Structure 1
Amino acid sequence: MIKKLVLAVAALLASTGFAFAQVDVNKADAVALDGVKGVGPSMSKMILEERAKGEFRDWGDFQDRIKGMKGKKAMKLSEAGLVVNGKPMEAGMAKPDKTAAKKEAKDKAVEKKAAM
């Protein structure tokens, strides 16, 4: 009974390790990219098409070349196991969403106007 329980726990731990395996955008095929939570067939196709033009140098290059890949989305994909040249995305690497930057600028303008 205890052996079965230990074996079941070991199998569970081993399978969760595979779920968080890193997938490098410069090496993965469409199936591996689709296996990353948040990446679907259309995104993996876009990644493969851009990679055919040249490998991604870093997260900044990846975010510049993949449509809609900014800020939070890039960070979530990195947390799900996506890497660029073997490196996960670090907090300071995220490029801000344009809408978030516009909202922040608008908020600052409102604060400045209210202070007058």
Structure 2
Amino acid sequence: MQTTFKRIAAALLISLSLGLSGTAMAQAIAPINVNSADEELLAELPGIGPSRATAIIEEREANGAFENADDLTRVNGIGPATVDRMRDQIKFEE
């Protein structure tokens, strides 16, 4: 009984460790260029789902490239708090 418990506990610890290492790896990924990224990539940003990703693309096509993070507030539904959550995960190149 104790052996079974130890095996289950070990498996859970391994799973947890692998899950946490995946999170750390995700944070090491290069920032997303909001001026060229597609909907799928933009939707990965915190606070941005498919509908806001589409709105970002529509805004940049209608009114030009974003020059900085604060320009994203031009998009309906994106405010300063959302911008602050993703500020270190985005870049602005044309």
Q: TM-score range by the shorter chain?
A: 0.5 to 0.7
- What 5-or-longer segments of structure 2 have no aligned partner? 1-16
Q: Which residue of 1 aligns with 2:40?
A: 31
**What do you get for the CA RMSD once the two structures are aligned?**
2.8
Q: Which residue, out of 65, 69, 78, partners 1:59? A: 69
| Conserved 8 A contact 2:69-2:87 | no
Q: What pairs with 1:38-49 in structure 2 (closer than 5 Å)?
A: 38-49=47-58
Q: Write the letter of the residue equivalent to 1:16.
A: T
TM-score, normalising length: structure 2:
0.61
* Aligned residue identity for 2:39: A
Aligned mates of 1:76, 1:60 — CA distance in 2: 12
The structural deviation recorded for 1:61 is 2.3
Identity %: 29
> Is the Cα–Cα contact under 8 Å of residues 50 and 66 in structure 1 kept in the other structure?
yes
Q: Does 1:73 align with 2:82?
A: yes
Q: TM-score, normalised to structure 1's length?
A: 0.52
**Structure 2 counterpart of 1:16:** 23
Structure 2 CA distance for partners of 1:37 and 1:49, relative to 1, 3 Å: same
Distance (whole Å) between structure 1 residues aligned to residue 80 and residue 57 of structure 2? 21
* CA contact 1:37–1:77 (8 Å) conserved in 2: yes
